[in-house]
Amino acid sequence: MVFRVKMEQTAKKQASNIVLALDFPFEKPENRGRLFAKAEHVLEAASPYLCAVKFNHHLVLPLGTFDGVQKLVKKTHEKALMAIMDCKANDVGSTNQAIAEYYYAAGFDALIANPFIGWEEGLKPIFDVARKMQRGVILLVYMSHKAAYEGYGQTIVEAETGKQVPQYVAFAKKALRLEADGAVVGATYPEKIKEVYSMLREKVPIYSPGIGAQGGEISAATRSGARYLIVGRAITQADNPEATAKEIRDLATPPK
């Protein structure tokens, strides 16, 4: 629960529920320096209006976990913000354990994992490492892209009950049962946010990606129960990231 509490405290202190997805288009490997400078600039400019920064493969692959990315994580912490690694961990237990250990060692406060892998020799090693190091685990429940229904929306038979339910409902129940530190539900599907929130309430906060470039709307997401809004291209590709981040923060429902 340490990460969840810190996120709440940071959101209140910053008066913001905006998580910046620090994602950028492909750059040739020889332009890594320029990519780092761009990421550093956007982080610096937007930081007053954020509560956290989410990293993905867009920076980890070209800059390196313990090189450029770790420097950006350190800068994130210097700005008194939380750092989340969106690795979508989705492998066997020994690999997941290594993934968690490396990303937490790099300074990340939480990582995102995919519940498809199950508990034993799946999610359990991630949760074990997270609890030992007092870090967070956020679970994918329903993604923001158009084909999300093919996986997260499919009908399954629950192993525990034998009942037919949508996959995302089973994942939401799992997030609640495992006391996950968050659940990802795309802002592009406010009806799914509302349904998941009806199950999680205030026990597991909802993180909603897809605001802006993917068509997700701030008001619809927050009204439906999203606690944190994840915004990427609308800020990272803006001519003025600072002004854009402020505008988005001001439009968002402030933390309670």
Output the tens digit of pLDDT for each of the chain's 256 residues: 699 999 999 999 999 999 999 999 999 999 999 999 999 999 999 999 999 999 999 999 999 999 999 999 999 999 999 999 999 999 999 999 999 999 999 999 999 999 999 999 999 999 999 999 999 999 999 999 999 999 999 999 988 888 999 999 999 999 999 999 999 999 999 999 999 999 999 899 999 999 877 878 899 999 999 999 999 999 999 999 999 999 999 999 654 4
Pairing of strands 110-113, 136-142: parallel
pLDDT, position 254: 52
Phi, psi at residue 131, to the nearest 5°? -65, -40
Tell me the C-alpha distance between 32 and 56, whole Å.
15
pLDDT, position 216: 82
Pairing of strands 228-231, 18-21: parallel
Predicted TM-score of the model (pTM):
0.95
Q: Which CATH superfamily is domain 2-251 in?
A: Aldolase class I (3.20.20.70)
Task: State the DSSP string of 154-217.
Answer: SEEE-TTT--EEEHHHHHHHHHHHTT-SEEEE-TT-HHHHHHHHHHHTTTS-EEEEEESTT-B-
Measured over the CA atoms of residue 90, residue 95, residue 96 and residue 101, the dihedral's sign is: negative
Residue that has been written with the tokens 């439906």 in this structure: 224
Helix (H) or strand (E) holding 44: helix 32-46
pLDDT, position 255: 45
